[in-house]
Chain A
Amino acid sequence: MAANNPFPLSRDALLGCYRRMRTIREFEDRLHIDFGRGDIPGFVHLYAGEEAAAVGIMSHLGDGDRIASTHRGHGHCIAKGVDVGAMMKEIYGRKGGSCEGKGGSMHIADLSKGMMGANGILGAGAPLVCGAALAAKFRGKGEIAICFVGDGASNQGTFLESLNLAAIWNLPALFVVENNGYAESTSRDYATAVNSYVDRASGFGLPGVVVDGTDFFAVHEAAGEIIRRAREGGGPSLLECKMVRFHGHFEGDAQTYRANGELEDLRANHDCLKKLAAQLTSAGVASAAELADIDRQVLALIEQAVVDAKAAPLPSAADLLTDVYVKY
């Protein structure tokens, strides 16, 4: 580590994390615009505002580590290394998409990157991650698996059953509750009898940690500890990231359930990207010009991804019938 870098990551790694966070933000903001124009079919659920959690956690993972994501999965995909161009094509329903246009926004997966899929069924990833962690335990290479759920899906039986299973088998499984305060439009306070995810974990004997999910370094440091513990055989834990959602539950959500001025406040005072940029520049690790340069490169990457997606071929009628089975 350079003497002038106060952070627990190298300058290159830090700039890489900044670039990934910026890529997620740009990707989502672009989808927001393109969806509004009617270019994108179906539902999209945007991750903008929550980037520090995905990147702070995923910066500790390799391709052999598995994650199961949620309906709000674009950020997890990008942070886990899924190709942005293929993702864009997928969301546009084109050939060459991550899932050849058959999955769409809610089902992007790339098993070669350890990304077991965004999921349209809330809480469904938790049992799958127990299985991925069980497989990792049999392989014995120190790999781990991470389940992401929102605060809403933590009320699913699958989630609670999985905490129990992970605990009794001491699986290298981590449960990340991305707490953005809203289950769709319903507040956490209304929907959750005991409004603490750490309390749920401790009900199963798992340690739970709460971090400020808008602070990259807070997430990165806490995640580093719980991931190290899991790799070394210390078993499962829960990490609650308190974070903010810049967009609605889905695109087209008028968000009238929010307080007046809430969104403006979130964007002004709780923007994880702004915070990271300020931390990097004030510590002298990167100049504002360097970050702006990354921003420009990311913007060009996303623009190119959209151009490529729009130019990509549509699936043909023959594609309708393929890949139901490996072999039937």
Chain B
Amino acid sequence: MARRISLKTAVNEAIDQAMQLDPTVIMLGEDIVGGAGAPGEMDAWGGVLGVTKGLYAKHGDRLLDTPLSESAYVGAAIGAACCGMRPIAELMFIDFMGVCFDQIFNQAAKFRYMFGGKAETPVVIRCMVGAGFRAAAQHSQMLTPLFTHIPGLKVVCPSTPYDTKGLLMQSIRDNDPVIFCEHKNLYALEGDVPEAPYAIPFGEANVVREGRDVTIVTYGLMVHRSLEAAATLAKEGIDVEIVDLRTLSPLDIDTVLESVTRTGRLVCVDEASPRCNIATDIAAQVAMHAFKALKAQIEQVAPPHTPVPFSPTLEDLYIPSAAQIAQAVRRTTGGK
């Protein structure tokens, strides 16, 4: 039975059900319970934004609050994953990857290959991504391309509550390390989500809007900005198709190529910085594999190559807008 729940609740429900289904699922992170050792109540926070609130009451000590010590606890999650557990480590913001990156890219990502295929590291590292929270340069980044660059990691960034639950269930049952990116500005978004557990396979992009004229390839919050743009463009007679990648590694390039082959036009929309990001990767792959189908030059919509600014005025200018996306689409159609 589906009911409308928020994306935040979908995260909570996926972890809850995964813990019910598999006793080896544990979770580690800063304040994921909240109040450990303090005189007040346990489960005071349930994560800094309350995403994991209530799980402690159901699963107790399988949720471990950690010290502010990302290298140690992310590494511990990875070590436990090599020893029969399925840990979920919550790294509050993807920006904090810098302090524990070695454990992710030199350890977890490489064990399987480096140990000749004899290791499995079923760890999920959940983190918040994206701008718009007035959280400034060190709590607002979209660092997804850092992780897609690294062989051995899988990278997921859902845009809807339905995808969030299904992809997180898959991430937890997956036997490879997964970086699971939750856009903090989508936590309140509601949508239909089945109550029963389900998993969405990795590497399957979702065509969230079908259209004839232009293909937009994007993920995360930008899916919604692109839908807004498409609604505006529809009134102008431009019929846009939107591909939500959902998983950035593995990448469903076939769906992208098929769509571009039909529409002949491509706009890549990415909230990550404009150099070497997901958008430029898609653009390059389309140029390499479907060049002859292109009727116009490929367009990218991305933030400027700057840190994320604090002032709301500046931050709003920084984040790609529906208007910028619509304008990019118009450039590919010559204003039609």
Contact = CB atoms under 8 A, between A and B. Distances in A.
Contacts of A130: 72-73, 75-76, 79
Interface stretch (B48-56, B110-118, B132-140, B325-333): B110-118
A323 B121 CA distance: 12
A325 B154 contact: yes
Contact of A121 (B66, B72, B102, B250): B102
Contacts of A99: 114-116, 118
B87 interface: yes
A136 interface: yes
A158 B72 contact: yes
A68 to B, nearest CB: 7
B112 A323 contact: yes
A107 B119 contact: no
Nearest to A110: B118
A161 B72 contact: yes
Contacts of A110: 118
A164 B71 CA distance: 12
A327 interface: yes
A136 B114 contact: no
Given A124-B102, A128-B75, A164 B69 contact: yes
A97 interface: yes
A116 B170 CA distance: 26
Contacts of A169: 64
B67 A68 contact: no
Contact of A134 (B76, B106, B113, B115): B76
A162 interface: yes
Contact of B79 (A112, A129, A157): A129
B81 interface: yes
Interface in A109-125: 109-112, 116-117, 119-121, 124
Given A117-B111, A324-B113, A165 B67 contact: yes
Interface in B135-159: 151-152, 154
Contacts of B174: 326-327
Contacts of B67: 161, 164-165, 168
Which of A116, A120, A129 has the most B CB atoms < 10 Å from its CB? Answer: A116
A98 interface: yes
A30 B117 CA distance: 28
A328 B203 contact: yes
Which of A100, A116, A325, A328 has the most B CB atoms < 10 Å from its CB? Answer: A325
Given A121-B102, A162-B72, A326-B175, A131 B83 contact: yes
Given A124-B106, A324-B152, A102 B85 contact: no
A153 interface: no
A135 B85 contact: yes
A131 to B, nearest CB: 2
Contact of B76 (A66, A124, A128): A128
A132 B82 contact: yes
Grouping DSSP codes into helix (H, G, I), strand (E, B) and loop, the A interface class, with mixed when no group exceeds half, is: mixed
A100 B116 contact: yes
Contact of B72 (A68, A112, A127, A324): A127
Contacts of B233: none
B72 A164 contact: yes
Interface size class of B (residues with CB under 8 A): 35 or more
A98 B116 contact: yes
B176 A325 contact: yes
Interface in A247-290: none
A127 B103 contact: yes
Given A121-B106, A127-B103, A66 B74 contact: no
Contacts, number: 156
A22 B275 CA distance: 55
Nearest to B70: A161
Interface in B56-115: 64, 66-67, 69, 71-85, 87, 102-103, 106-107, 111-115
Interface string B203-243: 10000000000000000000000000000000000000000
Nearest to A129: B79
Which of B24, B117, B175, B250 has the most A CB atoms < 10 Å from its CB? Answer: B117
A190 interface: no
A322 B117 CA distance: 8
Nearest to B117: A323
Given A128-B78, A326-B176, A102 B69 contact: no
Nearest to A99: B116
B120 interface: yes
B250 to A, nearest CB: 5
B326 to A, nearest CB: 35
Interface in A31-81: 66, 68
A124 to B, nearest CB: 6
Contacts of A223: none
A101 B82 CA distance: 20
Interface string B305-323: 0000000000000000000
Interface in B147-181: 151-152, 154, 174-176
B26 interface: yes
A109 B119 contact: yes
Contacts of B152: 324-325
A136 B83 CA distance: 8
B79 A68 contact: yes
B100 to A, nearest CB: 8
Contacts of B175: 326-327
Given A124-B103, A164-B69, A325-B154, A131 B250 contact: no
9 contacts: A66-B79, A99-B118, A109-B118, A128-B79, A131-B80, A134-B76, A322-B117, A328-B202, A328-B250
Given A130-B76, A130-B79, 12 more contacts: A109-B114, A109-B118, A124-B102, A124-B106, A128-B103, A132-B79, A134-B76, A134-B85, A135-B79, A165-B73, A324-B152, A328-B154
By Cβ-Cβ distance, the 4 closest A-B pairs, closest first, are: A127-B75, A131-B79, A323-B117, A100-B116
